[in-house]
């Protein structure tokens, strides 16, 4: 029996834990020789495909040259290349690049930047606004700004209080009205997942809504933080989801696809006023955040290779083609009994199952997951929501196999 304690895994259910030895493109190979289609990009990180040769080569080369370097007051070429590469494709206002290791830390950094900005400019603002059903990570600060529920109930005493605006459903005016009201109390910042709330159940909202929220924040001098940890790197059809709303956030969090999904690395980008509030001859105002592996050179080399792939390969064309395939699939799946709310944003496609017990702990999820495992497809439903988010390189045959697995499972459980 393995001594490994797995994340988001109930060891008491004794479910099998497959061991994967190799991956290529959209496919994983297990130690038993099974071929498994990675239809959720290994938890939303793999963009171009597993083991993209250019990323593999970059990692290999960097590992033999410079493996790690203190990043406080020192720098290296791969980090400079990533910062320059980001400057070239991100909105020009986001001029300052702060490195960390994961989406959660990118979010923690964003919160600290926002509060540092308000502290150093003397506004007295510190409250954070969030959207209902949001997910921003699993560290204490990131949990504090995420939806409360079974995920974090035992830790509730550690979580700080935030203001919550409703998720925009049919009545989007309610969201804007609540945001207006909350902004009058002079909060520090609003943080949102642009266009798609991932862990909250692949909930989607219109780009006009995103633009409207950013506009309210701008009028009230509330910092607008975009958590594009999941939505970035083409997932919603554009490089950033914010692009579709014509919004440039004050602070932007990127992680998952930053290295193409190969290495843990994150960045938090900030506009000039936020950097300027920390820049001073006064050492007490420097930005007090670091982790040992900040801007690890090998991870940065992988990110630089990812940026080169975005420059040189038709990534957005692949994304558009995948979206077309998913639309056709959704059309067929939505005709199945008990399937509701078919939706898609970029490469993210989702359906809900009409079941008596919805929510994350819906009894459907483990049953579905077992079905998918048997069918050689890695899908991980969020409660009664089945979604797919494959690597952009997935081919038609594999996409058809994913659809067949979903169809069989839905018909079987109907």
Residues that bind ligand PLP (CB under 6 A): 102-104, 107, 135-137, 193, 198, 227, 229-230, 255
Element containing residue 112 per DSSP (H, E): helix 103-121
- Measured from the CB of residue 335, what is the shortest distance to ligand PLP in angstroms? 30
Taking alpha carbons only, the member of 249, 228, 250 closest to residue 240 is: 228
Residue with Cβ nearer ligand PLP (98 or 398): 98
Of the two residues 90 and 405, which places its CB atom closer to ligand PLP in the complex? 90
Please tell me the distance from the alpha carbon of residue 414 to that of residue 265, in angstroms, as a whole number: 41
Pairing type for strands 251-254 and 266-270 reads: antiparallel
What's the chain's length in residues?
Answer: 414
- Beta-sheet pairing, 251-254 with 223-227: parallel
SS3 of residue 265 by DSSP: coil
Closest approach of Cβ 139 to ligand PLP, in Å?
7
Shortest Cβ 34–ligand PLP spacing (Å): 26
Closer to ligand PLP by CB, 102 or 262: give it: 102
CA dihedral 407, 237, 315, 89 (to 10 degrees): -160
- Give least dist CB 136 to ligand PLP, A: 5
Q: Are 376 and 401 in contact (CB under 8 A)?
A: yes
Residue 19 CB, shortest distance to ligand PLP, in Å, is 22
The least distance separating ligand PLP from the CB of residue 258, rounded to whole angstroms, comes to 10
- In the complex with ligand PLP, the residue whose CB is nearer, 41 or 102, is 102
Residues 6+ apart with CB under 8 A from 133: 147, 167, 197, 200, 201, 203
Measured from the CB atom, is 25 or 198 closer to ligand PLP? Answer: 198
The smaller minimum CB distance to ligand PLP, of residues 109 and 223, is found at 109
Residue 381 near residue 364, CB atoms below 8 Å = yes
Least gap, CB of 146 to ligand PLP (angstroms) = 8
What CA–CA distance (Å, rounded) separates 50 from 293? 23
Rounded to an integer, what distance in angstroms lies between the CA atom of residue 199 and that of residue 385?
10
Residue whose CB is nearest to ligand PLP in the complex, by number: 103
**CB-based contacts of 308, cutoff 8 Å, min separation 6:** 54, 85
User: Nearer Cβ to ligand PLP, position 193 or 403?
Assistant: 193
Q: Which is nearer to ligand PLP, 230 or 319 (CB)?
A: 230
CB of 385 to ligand PLP, least distance (A): 15
In the chain, DSSP finds a helix count (H) and a strand count (E) of 12, 16
């Amino acid at each position: 029996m393995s001594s490994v304690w797995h994340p988001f895994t109930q060891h008491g259910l004794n479910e099998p834990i497959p061991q994967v030895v190799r991956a290529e493109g959209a496919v994983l190979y297990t130690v038993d020789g099974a071929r498994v289609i990675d239809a959720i990009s290994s938890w939303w990180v793999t963009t171009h495909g597993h083991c993209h040769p250019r990323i593999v080569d970059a990692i290999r080369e960097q590992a033999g040259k410079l493996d790690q370097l203190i990043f406080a007051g020192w720098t290296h070429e791969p980090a400079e290349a990533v910062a320059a590469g980001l400057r070239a494709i991100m909105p020009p206002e986001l001029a300052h690049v702060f490195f960390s290791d994961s989406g959660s830390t990118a979010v923690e950094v964003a919160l600290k930047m926002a509060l540092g900005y308000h502290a150093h400019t003397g506004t007295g603002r510190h409250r954070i606004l969030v959207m209902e059903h949001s997910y921003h990570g699993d560290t204490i600060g990131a949990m504090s700004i995420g939806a409360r529920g079974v995920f974090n109930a035992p830790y509730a005493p550690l979580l700080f209080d935030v203001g919550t605006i409703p998720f925009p459903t049919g009545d989007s005016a309610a969201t804007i009205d609540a945001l207006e009201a909350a902004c009058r109390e002079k909060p520090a910042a609003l943080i949102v997942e642009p266009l798609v709330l991932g862990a909250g159940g692949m909930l989607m909202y219109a780009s006009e809504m995103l633009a409207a929220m950013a506009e309210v924040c701008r009028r009230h001098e509330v910092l607008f933080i975009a958590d594009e940890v999941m939505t970035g790197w083409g997932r919603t059809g554009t490089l950033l989801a914010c692009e579709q709303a014509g919004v440039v956030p004050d602070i932007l969090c990127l992680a998952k696809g930053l290295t193409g999904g190969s290495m843990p690395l994150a960045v938090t980008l900030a506009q000039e006023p936020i950097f300027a509030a920390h820049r001073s001859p006064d050492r007490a105002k420097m930005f007090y955040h670091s982790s040992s592996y900040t801007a690890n050179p090998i991870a940065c080399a992988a990110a630089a290779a990812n940026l080169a792939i975005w420059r040189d390969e038709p990534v957005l064309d692949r994304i558009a083609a995948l979206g077309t395939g998913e639309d056709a699939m959704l059309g067929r799946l939505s005709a199945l009994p008990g399937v509701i709310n078919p939706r898609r944003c970029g490469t993210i496609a989702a359906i809900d199952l009409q079941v008596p017990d919805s929510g994350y702990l819906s009894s459907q999820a483990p049953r579905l997951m077992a079905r998918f495992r048997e069918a050689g497809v890695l899908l991980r439903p969020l409660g009664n929501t089945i979604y797919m988010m494959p690597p952009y390189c997935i081919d038609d045959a594999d996409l058809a196999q994913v659809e067949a697995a979903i169809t069989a499972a839905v018909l079987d459980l109907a």
